[in-house]
């Protein structure tokens, strides 16, 4: 379904709602859209009312006519929640989606129940900003799309996962044939928004019970960056997932769903029942 823009700086947002129960908002990462959650939506919707949407300038959502910020992208999410008449929701953000989720939790604390931040950090590193710009130039230069997507796999998946040729070939083929692939201009808009993102001095304002999930093989958002994020969110839980890289929910959807559901529906014994590190 499409949520039309209401104000001048809005964009139309494509969204889907699956399942019933406590609401859970999924926020995708850079260049991604609803399709990135394909392996987990059905499993999560068995427990929750899952709301997934395409960020501005990705998938089937609208194009911005001016520069924007991560804060404005979080406003997009709030506009969607208002449209759906959802006053409070669990929020799960991956990578750039984790940036958006942080801004949501800081600026709209009353709208957040529990918060899950997957493979994300409180600031986009200079190394990553340069890396994303290189990917943008390659995409803008109309480089072979399959080769462009294949180039991403070293940053998204673990060495073990990349050794699975069938998995990687399917990932590259599906991405190159995806009818709603992000355009170069949209990719540039998102990386520009990420470059100015920084919550390091505001993390103390996050009051939601928070779980930070990080693969210990993540080469894009380094484990030390995710751990620093967790340490600066009061009372947060840090979960290091052995053998996983940047896209845990794609690489091992079953494990990811188990971690998420146990956190969201757990009681006070969650810490004792799980083998993870506390920030």
Average pLDDT of the residues in 205-218 = 97
Asked if the structure places residue 279 within a domain, the reply is no
Residue 189 pLDDT > 50, yes or no?
yes
Say if strands 112-118 and 209-215 run parallel, antiparallel, or are unpaired: parallel
Nearest to 109 by CA among 234, 273, 251: 234
Asked if the structure places residue 232 within a domain, the reply is yes
For position 235, what pLDDT does the model report? 95
DSSP result, 199-244:
-TTTGGG--SEEEEEEETT-SSS-HHHHHHHHHTSTT-EEEEETT-
Average pLDDT of the residues in 145-167 = 97
- Give the 3-state secondary structure of residue 48: strand
When the pLDDT of each residue in the chain is averaged and rounded to a whole number, the result is: 94
CATH no. for residue 29? 3.40.50.1820
pTM for the full predicted model: 0.95
Asked if the structure places residue 278 within a domain, the reply is no
Structurally, the chain folds into a number of domains equal to 1
Asked if the structure places residue 20 within a domain, the reply is yes
Average pLDDT of the residues in 162-189 = 96
For position 267, what pLDDT does the model report? 52
Asked if the structure places residue 88 within a domain, the reply is yes
Helix axes 70-83, 96-107, angle to 10 degrees: 70
pLDDT in tens, 253-277: 999 999 999 999 975 445 544 444 4
Two tokens, residue 175: 């991405």
Asked if the structure places residue 22 within a domain, the reply is yes
Average pLDDT of the residues in 189-201 = 98
pLDDT in tens, 50-107: 999 999 999 999 999 899 999 999 999 999 999 999 999 999 999 999 999 999 999 9
In the chain, count of helices (H) and strands (E)?
A: 12, 8
What are the start-end ranges of the E strands in the chain? 2-3, 13-18, 22-27, 48-53, 89-94, 112-118, 209-215, 237-241
Q: Which domain holds residue 194?
A: 2-273
Residue 224 pLDDT > 70, yes or no?
yes
Other C-beta atoms closer than 10 Å to the C-beta of 169 total 12
Two tokens, residue 8: 């001048």
Chain center to CA of 87: 21
Distances (CA, A) of 198 to 13, 17, 80, 256: 25, 30, 24, 27
What contacts 221, CB < 8 A, 6 or more positions away?
A: 95, 119, 120, 121, 128, 214, 246
Residue with tokens 């039309």: 4
**Cα separation, 86 vs 22, whole angstroms:** 10
């Amino acid at each position: 379904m499409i949520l039309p823009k209401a104000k001048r700086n809005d964009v139309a947002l494509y969204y889907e709602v699956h399942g019933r129960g406590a609401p859970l908002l999924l926020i995708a990462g850079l260049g991604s859209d609803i399709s990135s959650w394909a392996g987990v939506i059905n499993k999560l919707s068995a427990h929750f009312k899952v709301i997934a949407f395409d960020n501005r300038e990705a998938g089937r959502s609208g194009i911005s006519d001016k520069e924007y910020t991560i804060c404005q992208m979080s406003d997009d999410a709030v506009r969607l929640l208002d449209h759906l008449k959802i006053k409070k929701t669990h929020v799960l953000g991956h990578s750039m989606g984790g940036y958006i989720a942080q801004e949501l939790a800081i600026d709209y604390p009353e709208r957040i129940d529990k918060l899950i931040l997957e493979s994300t950090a409180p600031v986009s590193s200079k190394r990553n900003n340069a890396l994303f710009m290189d990917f943008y130039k390659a995409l803008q230069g109309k480089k072979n799309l399959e080769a462009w997507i294949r180039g991403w796999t070293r940053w998204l998946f673990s060495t073990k996962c990349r050794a699975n040729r069938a998995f990687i070939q399917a990932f590259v083929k599906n991405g190159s044939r995806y009818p709603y692939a992000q355009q170069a201009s949209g990719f540039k808009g998102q990386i520009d928004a990420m470059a100015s993102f920084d919550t390091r001095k505001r993390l103390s304002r996050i009051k939601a019970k928070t779980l930070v999930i990080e693969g210990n093989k993540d080469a894009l958002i380094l484990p030390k960056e995710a751990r620093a994020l967790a340490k600066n969110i009061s009372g947060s839980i840090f979960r290091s997932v052995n053998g996983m890289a940047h896209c845990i929910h794609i690489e091992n959807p079953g494990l990811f769903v188990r971690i998420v559901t146990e956190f969201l529906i757990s009681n006070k014994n969650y810490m004792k029942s799980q083998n993870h590190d506390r920030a």
